[in-house]
């Protein structure tokens, strides 16, 4: 693979945000935008998971864009109307029964969601410049990055809209605004582990129930590994009880949601009409 570093994808008042783009030697078929974890307080686009994921994705024919996004964003960074909406959404998230930190639902989360949307828009608009075959953009997010990704797929109505990806994979993540789930959302997959003390497994059960009630094209998988960071290793190395690699589950989702595929509408119909949720 070849690497193009430090590509500015958006200019914010506080800082310019950049991505590193990993490209296969053959023509990429689509783009994966990667959002690191760190609780919206820390983390970098060169975190330990990036290189193994970049190698695997480029080997499979994807362009892989690992992004920086704003960290520790205070409420004061937003105007008064948006501050009110962020507070209201956080209160609603807490009342929904989520067992996770309030800081994962506040202003830093909202800033990351907007930045991730800007990265998706950038890669969709610039894909031809790197000879990427389609404008399809999928998002893979770990922990906080996955939280931002899932809320990009199912955005709240009281905050600014931004560019949505074609599909989302959340690794050790949570859907912190479950009331936003709807049949028209972006098809998404959550891969979670057991014994996760950061984002507890009951959050996955909560969103699974909410997705079923809302008929949303989101499904969850629990892997056998333990710990908050385990889903990354499971994605790269493990299989489910039927012998299907978790990587294959993700590939089926991405392939169905590619703009080269005619299966996207069928995917959504299947996912909301069959229980238990089918494989993508």
Q: What's the pLDDT tens digit per position in 162-219?
A: 899 999 999 999 999 999 999 999 999 999 988 787 888 778 888 999 999 999 999 9
- pLDDT band with cut points at 50, 70 and 90 for residue 260: low
Q: For residue 278, is pLDDT > 70? A: no
- pLDDT band with cut points at 50, 70 and 90 for residue 41: very high
Torsion angle of the four alpha carbons 191, 61, 165, 215, in this order, in degrees rounded to the nearest 10:
-50
Q: Is residue 214 part of a domain?
A: yes
Query: What CATH number is attached to the domain comprising 164?
Result: 3.40.50.1820
What is the distance between the alpha carbons of residues 130 and 178, in angstroms, rounded to a whole number?
36
Q: Is residue 250 part of a domain?
A: yes
| The predicted structure's pLDDT at residue 261 | 53
Contact 232, 264 (CB under 8 A): no
What is the distance between the alpha carbons of residues 231 and 169, in angstroms, rounded to a whole number?
11
Query: Angle CA(65)–CA(68)–CA(73) in degrees, nearest 5?
Result: 150
Q: Is residue 180 part of a domain?
A: yes
Q: Is residue 280 part of a domain?
A: no
Q: Is residue 46 part of a domain?
A: yes
Its domain, for residue 86, covers: 2-273
Give residue-wise pLDDT tens across range 102-124: 889 999 999 999 999 999 999 99
Q: Is residue 279 part of a domain?
A: no
Domain count for the chain, please give it. 1
Q: At what angle do helices 246-257 and 264-273 cross, to 10 degrees?
A: 120
Q: Is residue 249 part of a domain?
A: yes
Pairing of strands 137-142, 62-67: unpaired
Q: Is residue 278 part of a domain?
A: no
| The predicted structure's pLDDT at residue 262 | 41
- pLDDT band with cut points at 50, 70 and 90 for residue 264: very low
Burial class (CB in 10 A: 0-12, 13-18, 19+), 131: exposed
| The predicted structure's pLDDT at residue 152 | 96
């Amino acid at each position: 693979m070849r690497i193009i570093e430090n590509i500015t994808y958006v200019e914010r008042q506080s800082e310019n945000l950049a991505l590193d783009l990993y490209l296969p030697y053959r023509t990429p078929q689509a783009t994966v935008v990667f959002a690191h974890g760190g609780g919206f307080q820390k983390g970098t686009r060169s975190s330990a998971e990036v290189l193994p994921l970049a190698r695997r994705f480029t080997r499979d024919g994807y362009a892989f864009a690992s992004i920086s996004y704003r960290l520790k964003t205070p409420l004061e960074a937003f105007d008064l109307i948006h501050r009110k909406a962020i507070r209201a959404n956080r209160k609603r998230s807490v009342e929904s029964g989520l067992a996770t930190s309030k800081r994962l639902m506040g202003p830093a989360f909202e800033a990351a969601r907007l930045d991730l949307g800007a990265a998706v828009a950038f890669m969709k608009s610039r894909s031809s410049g790197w000879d990427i075959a389609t404008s399809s953009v999928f998002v893979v997010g770990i922990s906080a990055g996955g939280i931002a990704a899932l809320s990009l797929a199912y955005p709240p109505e009281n905050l600014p809209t931004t560019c949505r990806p074609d599909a989302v994979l959340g690794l050790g993540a949570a859907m912190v605004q479950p009331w936003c789930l709807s049949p028209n959302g972006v098809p998404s997959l959550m891969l979670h582990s057991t014994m996760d003390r950061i984002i507890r497994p009951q959050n996955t059960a909560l969103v699974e129930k909410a997705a079923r009630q809302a008929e949303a094209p989101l499904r969850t998988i629990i892997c056998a590994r333990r710990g908050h960071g385990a889903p990354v290793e499971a994605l790269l190395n493990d299989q489910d009880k039927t012998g299907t690699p978790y990587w294959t589950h993700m590939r089926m989702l991405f392939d169905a949601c590619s703009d080269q595929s005619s299966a996207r509408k069928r995917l959504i119909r299947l996912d909301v009409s069959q229980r238990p949720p089918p494989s993508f």
